[in-house]
Chains A and B, each alone.
Chain A
Amino acid sequence: MPGPVFAEGDSVALHTIEEEDLEFLQRGRNHPEIRRPLTDVDPRNGEQIREYFENSVSDDGDGFGFLVCRSDDEEPVGAVHIPWIRTKHGSGMLMYWVLPEHQGNGYVTEATELILDFAFEERRLAKVYAIVLETNVGSQRVLEKLDFQREGVHRKETFVDGERRDSYRYGLLAEEWLDS
């Protein structure tokens, strides 16, 4: 049973991350189909996930993150975070994932809309940015659909499948989100 709903959409809702969700989060972050597009190369054991829970989720830091659950049965399907915020200039980094068996349902897009509403309407962020592998076309489509603009390329900064790859940087300004 996930924690309470924090923001509700049509097919998914954002819930607070609770201790009972750590096993789900750990499974996601170690899953090759999730961690590789995220270019996350750190194995995460239970202790490390717990530390993340205690240090990043349960403290009063600037970042925030949610469990994404399907609305009709509250089944957890993924997570969406803005884990780092440069508070002085008000820009935060977006990160999301949905388990492979739940992909293709538009959950990422809807969950991201919900976290952007929260970030811009309630948390006064000036900008949200995301970094996406050049090969991750699905994720680029999600960002472009949400009106993120491509602002540059990080040439050869990521190492995937034995090769150095480019990634793209996308940005969305508060006024662009709030005016749309």
Chain B
Amino acid sequence: MPGPAFATGDTVSLHPIEPEDHEFVQRGRNDPDVRVPLTDTTIRTLSDVEEMLEDESYHFLICASSADGGGREPVGVVAFGYVSGTDERGSLMYWVAPEHQGNGYVSEATDLFLDYAFRECGFHKVTARVNVSNEASAAVLESLGFVQEGRRRKESVVDGEYEDMFTYGLLADEWLD
């Protein structure tokens, strides 16, 4: 059972990440379908996950109604991987477990997260980086109004080869308008 809801949309809600959610996070971050698009090559033990989430602000568990109708279950994470410029810019990170993908959870959770970051925390800008082959993720960002700001040549390794990365940015006034 996840902790209390911090923000609620039509199908998903954002929750603080509790110690009992660490196992879910660990499973997600080690799953090739999740970590490869995130260009995350780190092997994470349960205690690595605990350490990673310790003192971490701007990290939410994404929850949705469970298929069996028995309340809510965790489906993914939306977060700022890091913030810079004294809580002024955040680098967006999200993932949804493979069995829950294709339901629009990422878009809705990110929408809630951006409202929180811009409207409540006063962030000035949110940035994101996506491998050019990750069309689904680029589509999510573009549907939320992110502007493509660049293409970093041969910036990450995908399937044994260097691949370009798109950079995206969204300014507070673009979100609020």
Contacts and interface: CB of A to CB of B under 8 A. Distances in A.
Interface of A: 88-89, 91, 126-127, 129, 149, 151-157, 159, 164, 169, 171, 173
User: Which applies to chain A's interface (DSSP): helix, strand, loop or mixed?
Assistant: strand
Contact of B153 (A88, A153, A155, A173): A173
A152 B155 contact: no
A149 B153 contact: yes
B54 to A, nearest CB: 23
A157 B89 contact: yes
A151 B166 CA distance: 10
Contact of A89 (B157, B169, B171): B157
User: Which applies to chain B's interface (DSSP): helix, strand, loop or mixed?
Assistant: strand
Contacts of A127: 153-155
B126 to A, nearest CB: 11
B171 A156 contact: yes
B152 A151 contact: yes
A157 B125 contact: yes
Nearest to B156: A89
Contacts of A164: 124
A176 to B, nearest CB: 9
B154 A126 contact: yes
B4 interface: no
Contacts of A169: 150, 152, 167
Contacts of B154: 126-127, 173
A89 to B, nearest CB: 5
B85 interface: yes
A171 B171 contact: no
Contacts of B155: 89, 91, 127, 171
A152 B150 contact: yes
Given A88-B157, A89-B156, A91-B155, A157 B150 contact: no
